[in-house]
């Protein structure tokens, strides 16, 4: 840690600034406490209420909340009918859950490369990977920026593929004015505390398709139905329910739903503050040739979940590791999003080789995510910018 001698010490804070953090206010706490005192801790009215709220925000006809974003992806993959012998095209720069859901179903993830400037899945890469076995595309709105939905939807339509949008980063984002959540066949959200709004844990799937909706509801609860139309041995007995397929217990609790409703009510203020911070960073970093600023497509009005600091390594006498450690010594804790999924040993062992997605691999070696969250103060933003400048000036070649 040679940098520690050069970098560090300023500013002194009680705790270092991390890359993301939830914002919980008194009304969020009150909403949870009130629900804890109510009749229902699970399967109660808050579930219906939060699902209605999600429909309202996204413009989708149906919403199903589940225990976390990974569960949302899992039931979406099951509802899509993925199975042995199927291939599903997935973004290569994402959290592993985006492609693990394909593996849960016994199907094969096929990794598409990213665009070098937006960092989102490249539609040309999708086209090249389509085979007769391809069933669907899972496109991730990386950092919160919407993927090129028009073009990807056109590809899916032409080849009869289902489009699942992993919107774990992108609640609040609009594509051509339309909210994320109402555009793909199914859109999956995560409400982990690091994301823009949180339920502690939590996830959701939105869709406009009634058949998918019915299936998602069943899969959330063991594959059990109380709906007579879905039964094999229907009866009007009040106690009766049937398990018609194999599902899971992926339910959300009512107190999580209460927290989530309270947080969703603040989405526009969360979104506005995130946009302000992104603007400050963009303005500061676009003036430094040693750094690369993420390109935003004009169609996306983005609520950014992550801010990617990308190094132009030709103009810096250091590597990403040295820069990361220097920033860490400056009391800012960055993180790297993400290792190309197929570089994880579990995937490597299945035969995915390095070199598969050159843009994704280059991206990984040049990036780190710096603090971006609602409660970040202007002073803290300035501190981060000052620290980045100091390191850039030190390593500039």
Ligand X SMILES: *Cc1c(COP(=O)(O)O)cnc(C)c1O
Binding site for ligand X (CB under 6 A): 68-70, 94-95, 97-98, 140, 166, 168-169, 190, 192, 203
- Distance of closest approach, residue 104 Cβ to ligand X, in angstroms: 13
By C-beta, is 70 or 125 nearer to ligand X?
Answer: 70
Give me 338's structure tokens: 């993400």
- Distance of closest approach, residue 386 Cβ to ligand X, in angstroms: 29
Helix and strand totals (H; E) in the chain: 14, 15
- Distance of closest approach, residue 64 Cβ to ligand X, in angstroms: 14
By C-beta, is 252 or 329 nearer to ligand X?
Answer: 252
Contact call for residues 94 and 286 (beta carbons, < 8 A): no
Which residue has 């994320």 as its token pair? 180
Contact call for residues 33 and 41 (beta carbons, < 8 A): no
Say how many CA atoms lie within 13 Å of 92 toward its Cβ.
29
Q: Nearest 5 degrees, angle CA 159-CA 165-CA 167?
A: 170
29: left (phi over 0), alpha (psi -120 to 50) or beta: alpha
By C-beta, is 109 or 203 nearer to ligand X?
Answer: 203
Which residue has 């603040």 as its token pair? 266
By C-beta, is 95 or 111 nearer to ligand X?
Answer: 95
Residue 296 DSSP label: -
Q: Point out the residue whose Cβ comes nearest to ligand X.
A: 69
Burial of 119 (0-12, 13-18, 19+ CB in 10 A): buried
By C-beta, is 23 or 139 nearer to ligand X?
Answer: 139
By C-beta, is 259 or 388 nearer to ligand X?
Answer: 259
- Distance of closest approach, residue 291 Cβ to ligand X, in angstroms: 23
- Distance of closest approach, residue 304 Cβ to ligand X, in angstroms: 13
Residue 229 DSSP label: G
By C-beta, is 166 or 366 nearer to ligand X?
Answer: 166
By C-beta, is 92 or 225 nearer to ligand X?
Answer: 92
Q: How many residues are present in the chain?
A: 397
Which residue has 């209460």 as its token pair? 258
Sign (positive or negative) of CA dihedral 217, 22, 338, 128: positive
3-state secondary structure 325-351: HHHHHCCECCECCCCCHHHCHHHHCCC
Residue 184 DSSP label: S
- Distance of closest approach, residue 9 Cβ to ligand X, in angstroms: 33
- Distance of closest approach, residue 168 Cβ to ligand X, in angstroms: 3
3-state secondary structure 112-157: ECECCCCCCECHHHHHHHCCCCEEEEEEECHHHCCCCHHHHHHHHH
By C-beta, is 118 or 331 nearer to ligand X?
Answer: 118
First to last CA, the chain: 21
Task: Return d(Cα 63, Cα 52) in angstroms, integer.
Answer: 7
By C-beta, is 135 or 192 nearer to ligand X?
Answer: 192
């Amino acid at each position: 840690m040679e940098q520690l001698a050069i970098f560090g010490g300023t500013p002194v804070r009680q705790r270092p600034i991390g890359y993301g953090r939830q914002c919980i206010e008194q009304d969020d706490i009150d909403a949870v406490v009130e629900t804890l005192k109510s009749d229902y801790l699970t399967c109660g009215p808050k579930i219906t209420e939060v699902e209605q709220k999600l429909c309202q925000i996204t413009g989708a006809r149906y919403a199903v909340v589940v225990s976390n974003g990974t569960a949302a992806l899992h039931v979406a993959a099951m509802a899509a009918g993925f199975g042995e012998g199927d291939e599903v095209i997935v973004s290569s720069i994402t959290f592993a859950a985006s492609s693990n859901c394909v593996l849960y179903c016994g199907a094969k993830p096929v990794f598409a490369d990213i665009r070098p400037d937006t960092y989102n899945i490249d539609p040309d890469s999708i086209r090249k990977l389509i085979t007769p076995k391809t069933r669907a595309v899972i496109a991730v709105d990386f950092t919160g920026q919407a993927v090129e939905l028009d073009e990807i939807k056109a590809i899916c339509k032409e080849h009869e593929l289902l489009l699942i949008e992993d919107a774990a980063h992108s609640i609040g984002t609009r594509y051509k004015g339309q909210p994320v959540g109402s555009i793909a066949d199914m859109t999956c959200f995560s409400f982990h505390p690091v994301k823009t709004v949180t339920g502690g844990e939590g996830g959701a799937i939105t869709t406009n398709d009634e058949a998918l909706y019915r299936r998602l509801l069943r899969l959330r609860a063991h594959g059990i139905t109380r709906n007579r139309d879905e039964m094999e041995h229907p009866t009007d007995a009040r106690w009766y329910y049937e398990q018609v397929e194999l599902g899971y217990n992926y339910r959300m609790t009512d107190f999580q739903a209460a927290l989530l409703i309270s947080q969703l009510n603040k989405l526009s203020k969360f979104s506005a503050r995130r946009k302000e911070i992104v603007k400050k960073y963009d303005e500061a970093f676009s003036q430094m040739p040693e750094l690369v600023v993420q390109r935003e497509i004009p169609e996306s009005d983005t609520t950014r979940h992550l801010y990617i600091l990308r190094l132009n390594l030709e103009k810096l006498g250091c590597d990403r590791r040295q820069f990361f450690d220097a920033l860490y010594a400056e009391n800012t804790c960055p993180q790297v999003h993400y290792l190309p999924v197929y570089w994880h040993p579990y995937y490597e062992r299945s035969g995915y080789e390095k070199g598969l997605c050159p843009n994704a691999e280059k991206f990984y070696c040049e990036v780190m995510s710096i603090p971006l969250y609602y409660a970040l103060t202007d002073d803290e933003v300035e501190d981060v910018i000052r620290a980045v400048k100091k390191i850039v000036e030190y390593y500039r070649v």
